[in-house]
Amino acid sequence: MSDTDTDTQSNSTITQVNIDQVLQVLEDASIECYETKDFISFSTVLDIHLSDPSIYTEEERYDILMKLNEIFNANHDLVYEVGWDIPPILIAFFNCEMKPVFGLMKEKTTVLILKLFEIMSFHGNPKEMLLPCCELISGLKQDDPYTEEFISSLESREDRYFYREKPLRVYMLKFHSLLQLISSCLRRNQTIVPSRFLSMVISKLISFLNSDPEHSRQITVSRRLYTFLRDYVPPDIPDNNQDSIDDLRIVLKQENALQRKLLVFFYSVLIDHLTKPMVPQLINHIYPNMLNPEQKNQLDFLEDFEMMSRFCGLGLSMDLDYPNSYKFEVDKSIELFNQCKKPLNNSDDIFELVIQDYNLTKNRTIAEGLPSLSTSSIVFLYTYYQLIDKPKFFQFPKISFVELVKFQLYTYVPFILNPKLCNLSVVASLMIQTLNSLNDKSLIELNQEQIHSQFESNESGKTILFSYLQYSTTLVFNSNDKLLIKLYFTLLIKIMINLKEEISYQFIFDSLLNCPPFDGFQVGLIGILKDLLMNDRIKVVTKSESETTTNTNTNTNINTEPIEDKLETLKLSGSAPPPPPPVLPPRVTKYIRLTDERANDLMLLFDVFLEETFLINEETEEVELELQTDKLNSLLALLNLINSVRSFPVELVTPRLKDLETNVEKFTNYKVNVDDYLAFITFNVDKAKRFYGVK
Amino acid sequence: MSKFYTFSPIDNKGKPFPFESLKGQVVLIVNTASKCGFTKQYEELEELYNKYKDQGFTVIAFPCNQFGHQEPGTEEQIVEFCSLNYGVKFPIMKKIDVNGSDTHELYQWLKNEKAGLLGFKGIKWNFEKFLIGKDGQVIERYSSIKTPSKIAPDIEAALKA
């Protein structure tokens, strides 16, 4: 076939394609290239005629694919020579329109494409096919869906379903075909340095994950990638290898180690990628398992968990040790804070400390004997392993609250710096772990001691604690995930009741005054403050405290008691042992007491909220009144707190209620259409007036 | 003496099965599951057992639920399943973990003695096999896809050793 013939063919218009001619050209070219040994010319013919398969009808495409199957089945040498050029051509065929049919085996052209991929995987040149396949898979994305207009124009329900599903189905078919071909290329490519090819494949698969994150998390994709990892077998050594046995042994040992690292690395990336949207599963299913460990939920019925369970098992088969890896990461973060000699005055200091370490170590130091996993994947896998796949008798490491706070800062700071790194499932997992630690009866004393000695009694410790709370707040509220926010408030109240009241109050008040305007944060925080102001902290005097008290009293008595009392004591000791000291009654106090100073603080906060809620916009020529409804919620929450606690000084409450009434009147007079809000404010003001006796 | 003979796993009736009693025998240790694609290997395992048991060979099965939760049943259910479907006569032990924090000490030892593909020690799936020689040393480790009948030559060689 001459070049002129080829040009003539390629210039044919879409409507004038002569399929018989095309089939004949393909047939002739396949014979001609054997005679001339110019296999590239066959590739050129393929490119010219098949680079845009959409110019053919479905029947014509079927004929072309049949022809290619015939040619390649009969000429395996040709497949070896031109195989590298075929995958992009075949991938383009997947995109073509077809009559709606249901069931893969009924899609005649699709079946032929898959058969051609199979021929490539058996007979193509694995080394040469690897690169184009990797390039194709790395940028794979789901095509745009059909417009709703088109879908609704279809008459049958089946057709509408077919076209709705088609983009995803095509994406999956392309991915499946390419990954299968890549896997077979890796296996068939005889080499003594398989890690070089595996590293290329893994880097492209990571690009694939990032190219279309939503669809690359589809269960079908994760199943294929799981199988890819599980079934990876290194290629054979080339038949003509000349290395000595000893040299070969050294190379193979190094190569095995490199391949192990690459597979574990990809596993780690994959876990991080797949788990990112799993916050609902964690909070709805895994968290209840923590609360009721005896009534462990059976979660296999959930597709996500079935897959995650497989991945968890796969990690174990790759010698990953989740509890030890987790403990190692926690210890590393503790060491970072413990070795810091500079005082930590504010959250910027914490940020700098963590980021410097992150940059120095690339967030990784490989522990002796522990394969490297990313911090995110360790946290998720450990939580999953502990709460779902929990071995019956295994004692998981006990991590205290203080240690977890440091570990969370170490994990969260990079999330804040680069939102692409942020994995909210990891945030949820760590919140669950923190609740677990605070609920663990065996850790109560240690937690209390560490909170006091490391956080409450020094400024750097307080900075660590407050930074942790601030960063957690930022991550959680930036996520807009309602479940995560709910879990966060559950954790926050648990933390607050474990802190000294001054510290809890300081955090809450500072946050109310200065925090960024996260939707719902102030309202939630006021709710927590209300609970802490109203509920009793029952402090049972412990045995050790009681003994300390008794000893202290005894010592004091020895030094200061009147002599008569000492004689009395001697008399008693001579006859019978002194009676035990009376058991001290439990001390009852509120978690946060409403002192005068705090009442003043909260009234000032009320003034701020009031000012922010009722705005007078003077920018326009006419003065306009504006009701900031998002601020109003905070104001109402504070009013509700005042109504619930009922022990604010009347002289502080009265002027505020009057101010509020005045503002409401202004709006009423101005006839701004916010009647519902105003009625609600009025209702609460009336309630407060009744409680506080304001006339 | 090989450490192999110091193990005494619990059998499916809850009684210790001292490996000391296996001294001088060739043993094939297999982690099994009843709902796996490889479950039909029980048939070939039983054939091997029948063929070589009189020459000092035995198969010991360790049911394990760690791979795809494919061994969910109780000890009684597992034994009944193996007996009814494959006529299994070789010893079946109590269900154990072969990977992770609660790995049975026998498997810790086996995996350390013979690593798998690429040097990973962990068991990859159901029906991986370890062939133990008459001296209690691990001769070979086989992946799940290696069917028991293909191991027969190695068993014969071990029996002759």
DSSP A313-366: HHHHHTT--HHHHHHHHHHHHHHHHHT--S---SHHHHHHHHHHHHHHHTT--P
Are residues A560 and A608 both part of a single domain?
no
Tens digits of residue pLDDT in A304-348: 678 888 999 999 999 999 999 999 999 999 999 999 888 899 889
Residue A319: left if φ>0, alpha if ψ -120 to 50, beta else—which one?
left
Are residues A16 and A115 both part of a single domain?
yes
Q: How confident is the model at residue A2 (pLDDT cuts 50, 70, 90)?
A: very low
Amino acid letter at A384?
Y
The answer to whether the CB atoms of B102 and A391 lie below 8 A apart is yes
Of A77-91, A368-382, A506-520, B10-24, least confident by mean pLDDT is A368-382
How far is C-alpha A373 from the chain's CA centre? 15
Are residues A49 and A81 both part of a single domain?
yes
Are residues A435 and A393 both part of a single domain?
yes
Residue A304: left if φ>0, alpha if ψ -120 to 50, beta else—which one?
alpha
Q: Give the helix/strand (H/E) hosting A388.
A: none
Are residues A435 and A550 both part of a single domain?
no
d(CA A665, CA A612): 17
Q: How far apart are the first and last CA of chain B?
A: 17
Is the residue at A604 inside a domain?
yes
Q: Which residues contact B101 (CB under 8 A, 6 or more apart)?
A: A321, A322, A323, A385, A391, A394
d(CA A569, CA A548): 20
User: How high is the pLDDT of residue A553?
Assistant: 37
Are residues A172 and A292 both part of a single domain?
no
Q: How confident is the model at residue A462 (pLDDT cuts 50, 70, 90)?
A: very high
Closest CA relative to residue A64, chosen from A98, A12, A23: A23
* A675 touches A630 (CB < 8 A): no
Closest CA relative to residue A412, chosen from A435, A398, A396, A429: A429
Are residues A631 and A568 both part of a single domain?
no
The answer, yes or no, to whether residue A540 has pLDDT greater than 90, is no
| Least CB–CB distance from A323: residue in B101, B118, B124 | B101
Q: Which residues of B34-46 are buried (b: 16+ CB within 10 A; e: fewer)?
A: bebebbebbbbbb
The answer, yes or no, to whether residue A297 has pLDDT greater than 80, is no
* A639 touches A688 (CB < 8 A): yes
The answer to whether the CB atoms of A318 and B122 lie below 8 A apart is yes
User: How high is the pLDDT of residue A473?
Assistant: 95
User: How high is the pLDDT of residue A398?
Assistant: 92
Residue of B nearest to A254 (CA): B118
Pairing of strands B57-63, B26-32: parallel
The DSSP result for A634-648, as a single string, is HHHHHHHHHHHH--S
The answer to whether the CB atoms of B118 and A321 lie below 8 A apart is no
Residue of B nearest to A305 (CA): B68
Write down which residue in A585, A612, A641 finishes a domain: A585
Closest CA relative to residue A50, chosen from A97, A10, A101, A79: A10
User: How high is the pLDDT of residue A373?
Assistant: 84
Are residues A285 and A164 both part of a single domain?
no
Sign of the torsion angle spanned by Cα atoms A273, A381, B29, B80: negative
The answer, yes or no, to whether residue A135 has pLDDT greater than 60, is yes
Map tokens 């709902």 to a residue: B35
Q: What is the mean pLDDT of residues A449-460?
A: 93
The answer, yes or no, to whether residue A357 has pLDDT greater than 60, is yes
Is the residue at A523 inside a domain?
no
> For residue A281, what are its two tokens?
């599963």
The answer, yes or no, to whether residue A534 has pLDDT greater than 80, is yes
Please give the share of chain A, as a percent, with pLDDT higher than 70. 84
Write down which residue in A557, A585, A613 finishes a domain: A585
Higher pLDDT pick, A517 / A214: A214
* B103 touches B136 (CB < 8 A): no
The alpha carbon of residue B50 is apart from the nearest alpha carbon of chain A, in Å, by: 31
Are residues A567 and A621 both part of a single domain?
no
For residue B28, the SS3 value is strand
The answer, yes or no, to whether residue A11 has pLDDT greater than 60, is no
Sign of the torsion angle spanned by Cα atoms A593, A598, A599, A602: negative
Are residues A547 and A469 both part of a single domain?
no
User: How high is the pLDDT of residue A446?
Assistant: 95
Q: Which residues contact A425 (CB under 8 A, 6 or more apart)?
A: A275, A276, A277, A278, A279, A282, A380
Is the residue at A241 inside a domain?
no
Tens digits of residue pLDDT in A153-173: 998 998 999 999 999 999 999
H helices within A189-244, ranges in order? 194-211, 219-230
Is the residue at A295 inside a domain?
yes
The answer, yes or no, to whether residue A87 has pLDDT greater than 70, is yes
User: How high is the pLDDT of residue A364?
Assistant: 55
Q: What is the CATH number of domain B3-160?
A: 3.40.30.10
Q: Which of B70, B97, B99 to mutate to test the interface with A (most CBs of A within 10 A)?
A: B99
Report which DSSP code applies to B100: S
Mean pLDDT over the full length of chain A: 86
Residue of B nearest to A389 (CA): B66
pLDDT tens, per residue, chain B with 161 residues: 899 999 999 999 999 999 999 999 999 999 999 999 999 999 999 999 999 999 999 999 999 999 988 999 999 999 999 999 999 999 999 999 999 989 999 999 999 999 999 999 999 999 999 999 999 999 999 999 999 999 999 999 999 98
Report which DSSP code applies to A590: E
Q: How confident is the model at residue A625 (pLDDT cuts 50, 70, 90)?
A: low
d(CA B96, CA B104): 6
Domain total of chain A: 4
Q: Using a CB–CB cutoff of 8 Å, tell me whether B124 touches chain A.
A: yes
The DSSP result for A516-556, as a single string, is ---TTHHHHHHHHHHHHHHSEEEEPPPHHHHHHHHHHHHHH
The answer to whether the CB atoms of B68 and A309 lie below 8 A apart is yes
Active site residue B36: yes
The whole-model pTM stands at 0.87
Map tokens 């071990």 to a residue: B158
User: How high is the pLDDT of residue A676?
Assistant: 76
Pairing of strands B26-32, A614-617: unpaired
- Provide the β-strand partners of residue A502: none
Is the residue at A266 inside a domain?
no
User: How high is the pLDDT of residue A629?
Assistant: 75
How far is C-alpha A386 from the chain's CA centre? 18
- Averaging pLDDT over each range in A27-36, A486-495, A605-614, which range is the top one? A486-495
User: How high is the pLDDT of residue A388?
Assistant: 81
User: How high is the pLDDT of residue A621?
Assistant: 59
Is the residue at A118 inside a domain?
yes
Tens digits of residue pLDDT in A659-677: 888 888 877 766 666 677 7
For residue B16, the SS3 value is strand
> For residue A113, what are its two tokens?
């494409």
d(CA B136, CA A570): 75
The answer, yes or no, to whether residue A367 has pLDDT greater than 70, is no
The DSSP result for B13-77, as a single string, is TS-B--GGGGTT-EEEEEEE-TTSTTTTHHHHHHHHHHHHGGGTEEEEEEE---STT---S-HHH
Cβ atoms < 10 Å from Cβ of A586? 10
The answer to whether the CB atoms of A391 and B69 lie below 8 A apart is no
Residues in chain A: 695
Q: What is the mean pLDDT of residues A221-231?
A: 96
d(CA A357, CA A376): 16
Domain that holds residue A663: 596-692
Q: Which of A253, A297, A317 to mutate to test the interface with B (most CBs of B within 10 A)?
A: A317
Is the residue at A377 inside a domain?
yes
How far is C-alpha A421 from the chain's CA centre? 9
The answer, yes or no, to whether residue A177 has pLDDT greater than 80, is yes
Distances in Å between the Cα of A612 and the Cα atoms of A192, A627, A663, A672 are: 71, 9, 12, 17
For residue B57, the SS3 value is strand
Is the residue at A374 inside a domain?
yes
Q: Give the helix/strand (H/E) hosting B35.
A: none
Tens digits of residue pLDDT in A18-54: 899 999 999 999 999 988 888 999 999 999 999 999 9
Q: What is the mean pLDDT of residues A592-602?
A: 94
Are residues A127 and A205 both part of a single domain?
yes
Tens digits of residue pLDDT in A553-564: 333 333 333 333
* B131 touches B139 (CB < 8 A): yes
Write down which residue in A218, A235, A252 finishes a domain: A235
The answer to whether the CB atoms of B122 and A319 lie below 8 A apart is yes
